[in-house]
Amino acid sequence: MPIQTIPGALDAGVLFLCDHASNALPSDYGKLGLSEAHFQRHIAYDIGAEAMTRQLAGRFAAPAVMTCFSRLLIDPNRGADDPTLVMRLSDGALIPGNARIDAAEVDKRRRQFWQPYRDATRAMIDEMVAKGPIPAVVSMHSFTPVWKGSPRPWDVAVLWDNDPRIAKHLILALRKAGLVVGDNEPYDGALEGDTLFEHGTARGLAHVLIEVRQDLVGAPEDAKAWGDRLADVLEPILRLPEVHQIEHFPSRVHLRKSAKTK
């Protein structure tokens, strides 16, 4: 199965997602021509993200949906037509099994792996909305401590588009806890077609993407501790009534596109 669902209460008020939980590949894809060492790197999965997601889901008795395949096969956090959906080169590593694939193979992977994750997430949200209250969506990721030779100073990053309902409180609370927090750093949360664009922005659900630096969550016990730390911070935020309402905010992606046409 390309996805795994952690069962939880449909009325928990929050759904946790983990786009890059696994570094596994289906047997018929071998290792895509790469050595095993590459599958221990961030290019294959988000180190520590699965353990944090499991810990958070347990703390909130909430459902979670996670992938069971490596992002090297296809990236479930990219839009269906994103040019980086299947990476041919990732952080200096040429991926032989992806280098010459054609559109038919990309479509096959999209149908067999990418789409089931989107469908499972959508179905879980539909069930939670029907049960009530309206769920918030929290997506868990991790980022490398160094990129292209430059150290990244942030302990944790909060990525968001234009819906501040969770992000503004979360950034403030994490900074009050003494952490160095990236506000849409090292990545921007406004990405058309990504997981939260489809399931959060487009549906009007409160949502946020949380990234923790990988050297802080590389050991299982550290990832679990970060899951608890984030749960403590999220708990009062997820009790706010505004978080459980459907409210549409214009995406910064669309605002940028509109500005270009003027």
Q: Give pLDDT tens digits for 85-114.
A: 999 877 767 889 899 999 999 999 999 999
Q: Out of 43-47, 48-52, 83-87, 147-151, which region has the weakest mean confidence (pLDDT)?
A: 147-151
The proportion of the chain whose per-residue pLDDT surpasses 90, expressed as a percent, equals 88
Task: Give CATH superfamily name and number for 10-261.
Answer: Zn-dependent exopeptidases (3.40.630.40)
Beta strands in the chain (DSSP E): 3-6, 14-18, 64-67, 89-90, 93-94, 136-143, 146-147, 150-151, 156-159, 181-183, 207-213
Q: What is the dihedral of CA 212, 215, 218, 223, to 10 degrees?
A: -40
pLDDT over 70 for what percent of the chain?
A: 97
Q: What is the mean pLDDT of residues 52-65?
A: 98
Distant-in-sequence contacts of 100-108, Cβ < 8 A, 24+ apart: 106/74
Query: pLDDT: is 37 or 254 the higher one?
Result: 37
Confidence of residue 126 (pLDDT cuts 50, 70, 90): very high
- Residues 144-157: pLDDT tens digits? 999 888 999 999 99
| End-to-end Cα distance, the chain | 46
Alpha helices, DSSP H, located in 85-163: 96-99, 103-109, 115-131
* pLDDT for 89: 75
- Domain coordinates in residue numbering, the chain: 10-261
Query: Nearest-CA neighbor of 5 among 160, 130, 159, 127?
Result: 127
Residue type, position 144, single letter = T
Asked whether residue 255 carries a pLDDT value surpassing 90, the answer given is no
Q: Average of pLDDT values for 31-50?
A: 93
Query: Are residues 73 and 19 in contact, defined by beta-carbon separation less than 8 angstroms?
Result: no
